[in-house]
Amino acid sequence: MKVDKEINVVGRSCPIPLISLTKEVQGMQKGQVVRITGNDPIFESSVVDCCQERGHTILDTTREGRTISIVFAV
């Protein structure tokens, strides 16, 4: 899967990952793909909620230890 933008927020606590997500997807075209990676305990649920509220489609979620990567289409 081609990813158009990578956002790494490992080590950052919420709400910083959501602020970064919002800032980085501004100006992206519908259908472009983003991967955001983080490890905050509420990272996954926060990103999923944010994507649902903004109409982004989650394409994949992977876990490696405490680190989670979520791929979604804008």
Give me the pLDDT at residue 46, please: 96
What's the chain's average pLDDT? 96
What is the separation, in whole angstroms, between the first and last Cα of the chain?
14
Look at residue 69 and tell me whether its pLDDT is greater than 90: yes
Give me the pLDDT at residue 42, please: 95
Whether pTM > 0.85 for this model: the answer is yes
Give me the pLDDT at residue 1, please: 84
The fold for domain 5-73 equals: Translation Initiation Factor IF3 (3.30.110)
Distance CA 6, CA 55 (A): 19
For residue range 1-31, what is the model confidence (pLDDT) as tens digits?
Answer: 899 999 999 999 989 999 999 999 998 999 9
